[in-house]
Amino acid sequence: MKSIVALAVLGCAAMAATAETAPPQNVLQLSASGTVEVQQDLLSMTLSTSRDAADAATVQNQLKAALDAALTEARKSAQPGQLDVRTGNFSLSPRYTREGKINGWQGSTELVLEGRDFPRITQTAGKISTLTVGSVGFGLSREQRAKVETEAQSIAIENFKQKATELAQGFGFSGYTLREVSVNANEGGPIRPRMMAMQAKAMSSDAPVPIEAGKTSVVVSVSGAVQLK
């Protein structure tokens, strides 16, 4: 008699475990997105120069002099958020002969002008005579990206809800409840510069560098699972 009771208890426990591990029924996985196109409001200009000499010290001193002069000029117009000034890459390397011997040194240095005040940045770049404009890139400021992401997120959520409702009705259900959801926004990445073949002598000392920003898209995606009911 005891073994019959024990078997009955084990049978109930097995049924309970099976019920707990059984996959949920009528669960739908779906995703939706929201896209907002916006004008790029952040400009990044990289100015650079290179030097070549017989010894490393001469190259380093020449690069330092060119960079110091550029920094002095750029800082006159610097303003947080509107025109931020920072140094970029600095390189110094030996030059070799076919026999593998060092026969000179070469190096380069960069200065980056970045901010939301396009005229201020381009005019400052035009005043710098010791460096030339090597690349120009556009992007979104943090403030602009945060604002646009909020708009795109609202669109994505509405699209998700509409899609869930339509699919629930299409499968013969009256509605749904939300089980889980995740929201992701594209980061956009760093500003991608466009290389420019431009010589300093092509511009007057105070002429602004010609630039024109384009538009970019901010995309927010919503994905998750809903329980059809």
The pLDDT value given to residue 203: 43
Which residue range is the domain that position 85 belongs to?
42-139+192-211
Residue 151 lies in a domain: no
Residue 201 lies in a domain: yes
Residue 63 lies in a domain: yes
Report whether pLDDT(1) > 70. Answer: no
Phi-psi region of 100 (alpha: psi -120 to 50; beta: other; left: phi over 0): left
The pLDDT value given to residue 210: 73
Query: Which residue(s) pair with 180 in the sheet?
Result: 225
pLDDT-derived band of residue 186, with 50, 70 and 90 as boundaries? confident
The pLDDT value given to residue 147: 93
Give the DSSP per-residue string, 71-103.
HHHHHTS-BTTTBEEEEEEEEEEEEE-TTS-EE
Give 78's contacts (C-beta < 8 A, 6+ positions apart).
Answer: 84, 85
The pLDDT value given to residue 32: 96
The pLDDT value given to residue 25: 87
The greatest distance separating any two alpha carbons of the chain, rounded to the nearest whole angstrom, comes to 106
Average pLDDT, the chain: 85
Domain count, the chain: 1
Report whether pLDDT(178) > 80. Answer: yes
pLDDT-derived band of residue 127, with 50, 70 and 90 as boundaries? very high
The pLDDT value given to residue 8: 45
Residue 126 lies in a domain: yes
CATH code of residue 200? 3.30.70
Give 151's contacts (C-beta < 8 A, 6+ positions apart).
Answer: 34, 36
Residue 72 lies in a domain: yes
Residue 93 lies in a domain: yes
Alpha helix segments (H runs only) across the chain:
2-21, 56-75, 118-127, 142-170
The helix/strand/coil state of 229 is: coil
CA distance 49 to 110: 7
Angle at 110 between CA 104 and CA 116, to 5 degrees: 170
Rounded to an integer, the average pLDDT of 44-48 is 97
The pLDDT value given to residue 141: 93
CA distance 164 to 179: 12
> Does the model's pTM come out above 0.85?
no
Alpha helix segments (H runs only) across 171-204:
none
Residue 76 lies in a domain: yes
Residue 52 lies in a domain: yes
